[in-house]
Copies of this chain bind each other. A is one copy, B any other.
Amino acid sequence: MSQTYQQYLKEHHEQHLEELFDFLQIPSISSLSEHQPDVRKAAEWLKAELGKTGLEHTAVMETKGNPVVYGDWLHADGKPTVLIYGHYDVQPVDPLNLWKSDPFKPEIRDGKIFARGVSDDKGQVFMHIKAIEALMETEGELPVNIKVLFEGEEEIGSPHLAPFVEAHQELLKADLIVVSDTGMPELGKPTICYGLRGLCGLEIHVKGASSDLHSGEYGGGVQNAATALVELLASFHDQDGRVLVEGFYDKVEASTPEEKEAFAKQAADEGQIQAQLGVPALFGEKGYSYAERTSVRPTLEINGLQSGFTGEGLKTVLPSEAFAKVTCRLVPNQDPYEILSLLKKHIEAHAPKGVTVSVTEFDKGYPYVTPRKHPAIQLCGKAYEKVYGVPVTYTRGGGSIPIVAEFDRILNIPVVLMGFALSSENAHAPNEHFHLENFDKGIQTICTYWNELKTLPLS
Contact = CB atoms under 8 A, between A and B. Distances in A.
Contacts of A1: none
A311 B32 contact: yes
Given A222-B277, A301-B215, A428 B283 contact: no
A297 B156 CA distance: 47
Nearest to A298: B220
A332 interface: no
Contacts of A310: 304-306, 323, 325
A219 B301 contact: yes
A315 B303 contact: yes
A20 interface: no
B303 A305 contact: no
Interface residues of A, number: 101
A157 interface: yes
A314 B303 contact: yes
Interface in A100-125: 120
Consensus secondary structure, chain A interface: loop
A233 B222 contact: no
Contacts of A312: 31-33
Given A216-B397, A294-B221, A316-B199, A356 B280 contact: yes
A400 B221 CA distance: 16
Contacts of A167: none
Contacts of A336: none
A311 B94 contact: yes
21 contacts: A95-B212, A98-B211, A197-B216, A215-B428, A219-B301, A219-B398, A220-B298, A222-B277, A226-B305, A230-B302, A231-B237, A303-B315, A303-B317, A304-B307, A304-B310, A304-B319, A305-B305, A305-B322, A306-B306, A314-B327, A316-B428
